[in-house]
Amino acid sequence: MSDVLEQTERIESTMLDSPWVTIVWNDPVNLMNYVSWVFRSYFGFSRAEANVRMLQVHHDGRAVVATGSREEMERHVEAMHDFGLWATLARAGE
Amino acid sequence: MRAFRRSRHQFVAVFNPDEAGTLSILASQVIALLEDRGSHDSDPALLRLLPDAYSDDAEASAEFRRFTADDLASRKAANGRRIVADLATAAGSTSATAVKVDAQAAEAWVRSLTDIRLTIAARLGIEADDDLGSEDPAMRDLYDWLGFVQGSLVDCMDR
């Protein structure tokens, strides 16, 4: 019985721990080569990947650049603010 | 002004004394803005330098700011001081002077140049890609020049 309870609690905590995302928003100030460089140097994206995400920010107004726990996403958002990029975090799918 | 170029492990640009002086003053102004900051709501530039971390949750944004804003502001101020220190000789000179920036300093430079441009853009009301901020042509020219300086440095670092 206690095993079942434990298992249920574990499943519930996994479901509650739904992933969060880091979103970078378009702004008229940041240079395209700078945004691409930030994505490469901080997230370790390849040049091609960084350019795709940078262009997504530019054309779609925003791009998801990371997924994970809330704490992890808060660290990424703080790092993006260090670079002067406009970033927020949100629950995945919102 | 001669834009940044890579020279072995350094990046080198040539600044006229007035250019170096102007950039140094702008960096100092952003440092002062960050260090003497009051309420975030009252200043669009501060709100952009230390933005909300949650787009639809004011309480969570306030909480995030409580834990991160002081450290973020001091790191940004330290980046600005790097620019001021690196430009001191060029700003005090009577002729154009080469300014050499190593890889570590360049990380501070590009971040601080971003903060300076964000601050000017907030003052000029540049909020969308096609905003020109044309009410203040001199400030707009300065803003574009800073973009040129930063762009050339990023190009050097990005190789």
Report whether pLDDT(A10) > 80: no
The label of the residue with tokens 């994505």 reads: A39
Lowest mean pLDDT among A13-27, A49-63, B25-39, B143-157: A13-27
3-state SS of chain B is CEEEEEECCEEEEEECHHHHHHHHHHHHHHHHHHHCCCCHHHCHHHHHHCCCCCCCCHHHHHHHHHHHHHHHHHHHHHHHHHHHHHHHHHHHCCCCEEEEEEHHHHHHHHHHHHHHHHHHHHHHCCCCCCCCCCCCHHHHHHHHHHHHHHHHHHHHHCC
Closest CA in chain A for residue B149: A31
Tens digits of per-residue pLDDT, B129-157?
A: 778 777 788 999 999 999 999 999 999 99
Q: Would an 8 Å CB–CB cutoff place A42 in contact with chain B?
A: no
Report yes or no: B59 at the A interface, CB cutoff 8 Å.
Answer: no
Verify whether the Cβ–Cβ distance A26 to B150 is below 8 Å. no
Mean model confidence pLDDT for chain B: 94
Chain B residues with CB under 8 Å of A33 CB are: 151, 154-155, 158
Of the candidates A76, A91, A89, A70, the one whose C-alpha atom is nearest the C-alpha of residue A43 is A76
pLDDT in tens, B119-136: 999 999 888 877 877 778
CA gyration radius, chain A: 17
Among candidates B55, B76, B117 on the partner chain, residue whose Cβ is nearest the Cβ of A90: B55
pTM: 0.91
- Is the pLDDT at B58 greater than 90, yes or no? yes
For residue A76, list chain B residues with Cβ-Cβ distance below 8 A: none
Residues of B in contact with A89 (CB under 8 A): 53-54
- Which ipTM score applies to this complex? 0.94
The answer to whether A41 touches A80, Cβ cutoff 8 Å, is no
**B22 or A8: whose pLDDT is higher?**
B22
Whether residue A46 lies within 8 A of chain B, CB to CB, comes out as no
Closest CA to A77 of A48, A45, A38: A38
Task: Please provide the average confidence, as pLDDT, over all residues in chain A.
Answer: 89
